[in-house]
């Protein structure tokens, strides 16, 4: 959204004299849906796998080989084309993908189609949200609009935001967020500085309106810039610290719950916080390491029970102190119940032992093999942290081992303990509190089907576990990570996801048997018919889809993997970035400037993975090129932005590849 101020000032007077130069929509003639009309489902039937396609009047972009491959955009465009638009998270997620991948024209086209097709059926808040994100992608695209149309284009974008504000009586956080970020980046002659400050300060004054934790990170970031422009140095510094940024400001937007540093590793939260799940008895601790820690106060108020022990002793101790500061009269910690023995759930157990050397530890008896896989030397420090030690895990062992379903009573609270096999490990344990109708399920539905770096994960067994979970009399389902609880936190979502998951597994196996590689299958945009009716399940399915494909292919193929054409077998050659670096400089004879120009084009077109790979390769030959390094950082930042919300593993790796951390927002 960096406008060429000099160029625009030069042309402003001439442009404003033009009449009728408002940019018109390039959308085809669309018939608005009548209020009682149903959208007809479109199913692709080219093979035995019948996958959902975009609704009438909407495009299926994957067949265009001139565009970058964007499976996340294709998925959300397909599902949202059926008009289930009330959940703002899906629209915000799609907008993030358009921005990070530079697919702004596609965003403009898609939002125009939605606004036209469903103008008679969407409610006021939904329309305001759509107008706001439509304004965002328009504003970002303004530099690519012809000069004689650019000023009217921008002014019309402002009108969209003002219309959204009127619709919501100036009380929508999403409208304020979009308006604030757009106005904050306008050239001075648009005179939007004060409006930018006003919109962003409204959000600061209304913290409870934040749609998801971390969404206001950019609010603090841009307020810092605005205060800096006003000469308010102290305030600018304060808000930059609140945003979690420091000397390095990422080259893409970040607005989700993840943070990742070498000191603390990966966390599923932008800050430390806690939530009372059941009044007076069940509490969730967020941001203290990669996994969540839960505390339960027993019925007799004499015992404190922990569910899982976090990632490392120092952080687990911090979580305990945080809880005790809030509830100083809570009882003594007596028991730890472990959902499974992955490092991020037992890594901090010694902190609890130091608090109570007589701590009772309850866990699945099948923990040995899982623990063995967990003790390895990780390459990436921002995942487990630079201080990670296998010694934290080596002596872990439950004092009471669960071999079959049973009930235990702790301080008058009944715990029903159910051993299951999840999609990560064979030592999973459901912890069900029938009196509270609360169930802790750990990582039974973890989208990544185990640690991506480890040969683990189960495909069919999670279906049995989900069936068992759905049979329990429970109203609150708590996962081992905040993001999972957001995606799969109730029975309705789990039931929808289970059906979609079964269909996906069957479909992937069909294509795998037909000789398709993992990347071949990912390009098919596999979506089960009917999923479009359940917008609350969109992100849960999207988070798992690629990893289900990866695990099935990995578990069903050899170290050579064929593809559908036979031209690109995986594992067949020994090419590395060293060879590609030689290709660029020695064989193609490309200069540093020529490579940089090509990388800029890749980023502009959204080919971010290609840009990251080739910039890494180019640096093998041009080791001191600051230009190539900056372009590599931008491609990695944009890939991190594409990964936020649903892919913490890639989020962390992309950051560490270029040596950049995502710090927590300051409390």
Q: Set out the domains of the chain in order of their start, with CATH numbers.
A: 5-243 (1.25.40.10), 280-489 (3.60.15.10), 577-657 (no CATH)
Q: Kindly state the average pLDDT of the residues 114-134.
A: 97
Q: Kindly state the average pLDDT of the residues 643-667.
A: 90
Q: What is the pTM of this model?
A: 0.93
- Local structure of residue 308 (DSSP, 8 states): -
Q: Which pLDDT belongs to residue 14? A: 40
Contact assessment for residue 286 and residue 273, using Cβ atoms and an 8 Å cutoff = yes
Relative to beta strand 438-442, strand 476-479 is parallel
pLDDT digits (tens, 9 = 90+) for 580-632: 999 999 999 999 999 999 999 999 999 999 999 999 999 999 999 999 999 99
Contact assessment for residue 213 and residue 269, using Cβ atoms and an 8 Å cutoff = yes
Residue 391 has pLDDT above 50, yes or no: yes
Residue 557 has pLDDT above 80, yes or no: yes
Residue 15 has pLDDT above 60, yes or no: no
Residue 116 φ/ψ region, left for φ over 0, alpha for ψ in the -120 to 50 degree band, beta for the rest? alpha
Q: What DSSP assignment string belongs to 496-552?
A: HHHHHHHHHHHHHHHHHHTT--HHHHHTT---BTTGGG-GGGHHHHHHHHHHHHHHH
Contact assessment for residue 261 and residue 279, using Cβ atoms and an 8 Å cutoff = no
DSSP reduced 3-state for 212: coil
Report residue 19's pLDDT band, with 50, 70 and 90 as the boundaries: very low
Q: Which pLDDT belongs to residue 7? A: 42
Which distant-in-sequence residues (6+ apart) come within 8 Å of 435 by Cβ?
A: 299, 413, 414
Tokens of 198: 């006003």
Q: Kindly state the average pLDDT of the residues 499-503.
A: 98
Q: Could you tell me where the beta strands, DSSP code E, fall in 195-292?
A: 259-261, 265-267, 273-278, 282-286
Q: Which pLDDT belongs to residue 376? A: 66
Q: Which pLDDT belongs to residue 63? A: 67
Q: Kindly state the average pLDDT of the residues 99-107.
A: 96
Q: Kindly state the average pLDDT of the residues 625-649.
A: 95
Which distant-in-sequence residues (6+ apart) come within 8 Å of 116 by Cβ?
A: 25, 27, 30, 32
Report residue 18's pLDDT band, with 50, 70 and 90 as the boundaries: very low
Report residue 268's pLDDT band, with 50, 70 and 90 as the boundaries: confident
Report residue 346's pLDDT band, with 50, 70 and 90 as the boundaries: very high
**Cβ neighbour number for residue 94 with a 10 Å cutoff:** 24
Percent of the chain with pLDDT over 70: 94
Continuous segment of H or E residues that includes residue 609? helix 608-618
Mean pLDDT of the chain: 91
**Cβ neighbour number for residue 14 with a 10 Å cutoff:** 11
pLDDT digits (tens, 9 = 90+) for 52-79: 999 999 987 766 778 899 999 999 999 9
Q: Which pLDDT belongs to residue 9? A: 42
Residue 479 has pLDDT above 90, yes or no: yes
Give CA–CA dist 70/77, Å, rounded.
11
DSSP reduced 3-state for 431: strand
Give CA–CA dist 525/531, Å, rounded.
13
DSSP reduced 3-state for 408: strand
Long-range CB pairs of 492-496, under 8 A, 24+ apart, other chains included: 492/536, 493/534, 493/536, 493/537, 493/540, 494/445, 494/466, 494/469, 494/470, 495/470, 496/531, 496/534, 496/536, 496/537
Percent of the chain with pLDDT over 90: 77
The partner residues of 439 in beta bridges, in order of sequence, read 432, 477
Tokens of 253: 């937007």
Relative to beta strand 259-261, strand 265-267 is antiparallel
Give CA–CA dist 641/442, Å, rounded.
26
Q: Which pLDDT belongs to residue 109? A: 95
Give CA–CA dist 255/627, Å, rounded.
27
DSSP reduced 3-state for 658: coil
Residue 294 has pLDDT above 70, yes or no: yes
Q: Could you tell me where the beta strands, DSSP code E, fall in 302-399?
A: 304-307, 333-337, 360-364
pLDDT digits (tens, 9 = 90+) for 326-344: 999 999 999 999 999 998 9
pLDDT digits (tens, 9 = 90+) for 401-453: 999 999 999 999 999 999 999 999 999 999 999 999 999 999 999 999 988 88
Q: Which pLDDT belongs to residue 5? A: 46
Residue 242 has pLDDT above 70, yes or no: yes
Give CA–CA dist 492/499, Å, rounded.
11
Report residue 309's pLDDT band, with 50, 70 and 90 as the boundaries: very high
Relative to beta strand 428-433, strand 293-297 is unpaired
Contact assessment for residue 457 and residue 445, using Cβ atoms and an 8 Å cutoff = no
Cα dihedral sign, 539-544-547-552: negative
Residue 20 has pLDDT above 60, yes or no: no
DSSP reduced 3-state for 278: strand
pLDDT digits (tens, 9 = 90+) for 210-223: 988 889 999 999 99
Tokens of 508: 């992937």
Report residue 576's pLDDT band, with 50, 70 and 90 as the boundaries: very high
DSSP reduced 3-state for 615: helix
Residue 666 has pLDDT above 60, yes or no: yes
Q: Which pLDDT belongs to residue 195? A: 98
Tokens of 87: 């959940």
Terminal Cα distance for the chain, rounded:
29
Tokens of 18: 């033009």
The arrangement of strands across the sheet holding 282-286 comes to 273-278, 282-286, 293-297, 304-307, 333-337, 360-364, 400-402
Q: Kindly state the average pLDDT of the residues 105-134.
A: 97
């Amino acid at each position: 959204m960096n406008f060429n101020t000099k160029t625009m000032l030069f042309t402003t007077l001439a442009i404003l004299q033009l009449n009728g130069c408002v940019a018109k929509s390039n959308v085809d003639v669309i018939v608005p849906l009548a209020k009682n009309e149903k959208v007809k489902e479109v199913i692709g039937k080219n093979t035995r796998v019948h996958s959902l396609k975009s609704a009438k009047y909407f495009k299926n972009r994957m067949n265009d080989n001139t565009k970058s491959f964007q499976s996340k955009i294709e998925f959300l465009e397909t599902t949202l084309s059926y008009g289930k638009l009330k959940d703002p998270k899906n629209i915000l997620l799609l907008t993030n993908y358009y921005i990070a991948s530079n697919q702004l024209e596609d965003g403009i086209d898609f939002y125009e189609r939605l606004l036209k097709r469903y103008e008679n059926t969407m409610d006021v808040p939904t329309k305001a949200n759509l107008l706001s994100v439509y304004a965002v992608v328009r504003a970002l695209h303004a530099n690519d609009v012809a000069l004689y149309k650019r000023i009217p284009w921008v002014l019309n974008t402002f009108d969209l935001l003002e219309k959204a504000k009127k619709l919501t009586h100036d009380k929508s956080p999403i409208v304020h967020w979009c308006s604030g970020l757009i106005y904050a980046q306008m050239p001075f002659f648009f005179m939007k500085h004060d409006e930018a400050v006003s919109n962003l300060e409204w959000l600061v004054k209304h913290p409870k309106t934040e749609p998801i934790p971390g969404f206001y990170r950019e609010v603090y970031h841009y307020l810092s810039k605005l205060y800096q422009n006003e000469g308010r140095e102290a305030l600018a510094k304060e808000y930059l610290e609140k945003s979690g940024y420091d000397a390095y400001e990422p080259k893409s937007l970040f607005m989700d719950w993840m943070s990742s540093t070498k000191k603390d590793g990966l966390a599923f939260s932008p800050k430390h916080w806690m939530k009372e799940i059941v009044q007076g008895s069940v509490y969730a601790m967020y941001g203290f390491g990669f996994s969540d820690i839960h505390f339960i106060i027993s019925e007799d108020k004499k015992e404190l029970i922990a569910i899982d022990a976090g990632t490392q002793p120092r952080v687990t101790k911090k979580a305990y102190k945080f809880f005790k500061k809030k509830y100083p009269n809570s009882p003594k910690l007596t028991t730890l119940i472990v959902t499974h023995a992955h490092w991020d759930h037992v890594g901090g157990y010694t902190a609890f032992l130091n608090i109570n050397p007589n701590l009772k530890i309850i866990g699945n008896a099948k923990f040995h093999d899982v623990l063995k896989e967990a003790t390895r030397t990780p390459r990436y420090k921002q995942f487990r942290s630079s201080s990670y030690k296998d010694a934290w895990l080596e002596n872990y062992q439950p004092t009471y081992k669960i071999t079959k379903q049973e009930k235990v009573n702790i301080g008058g609270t009944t715990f029903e303990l159910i051993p299951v096999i999840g999609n990560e490990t064979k030592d999973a344990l459901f912890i069900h509190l029938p009196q509270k109708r609360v169930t802790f399920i750990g990582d039974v539905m973890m989208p990544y089907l185990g640690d991506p770096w480890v040969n683990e994960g189960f495909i069919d067994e999670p279906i049995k576990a989900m069936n068992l979970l759905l049979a329990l009399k429970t109203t609150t389902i708590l996962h081992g990570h905040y993001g999972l609880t957001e995606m799969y936190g109730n029975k309705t979502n789990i039931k929808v996801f289970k059906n979609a998951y079964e269909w996906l597994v069957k479909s992937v196996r069909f294509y795998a048997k037909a000789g398709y590689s993992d990347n071949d299958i990912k390009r098919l945009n596999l979506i089960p018919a009917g999923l479009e009716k359940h917008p609350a399940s969109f992100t849960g399915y999207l988070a798992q889809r690629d990893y289900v494909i990866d695990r099935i292919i990995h578990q069903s193929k050899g170290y050579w993997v064929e593809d559908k054409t036979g031209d690109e077998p995986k594992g067949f050659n020994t090419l590395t970035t060293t060879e590609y670096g030689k290709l660029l400089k020695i064989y193609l004879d490309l200069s540093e400037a020529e490579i940089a120009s090509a990388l800029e084009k890749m980023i502009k077109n959204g080919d971010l993975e290609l840009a990251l790979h080739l910039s890494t390769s180019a640096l093998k030959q041009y080791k001191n090129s600051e230009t190539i390094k900056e372009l590599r950082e931008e491609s990695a930042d944009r890939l991190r932005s594409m990964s936020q919300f649903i892919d913490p593993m890639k989020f962390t790796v992309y950051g560490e590849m270029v040596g950049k951390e995502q710090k927590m927002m300051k409390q």
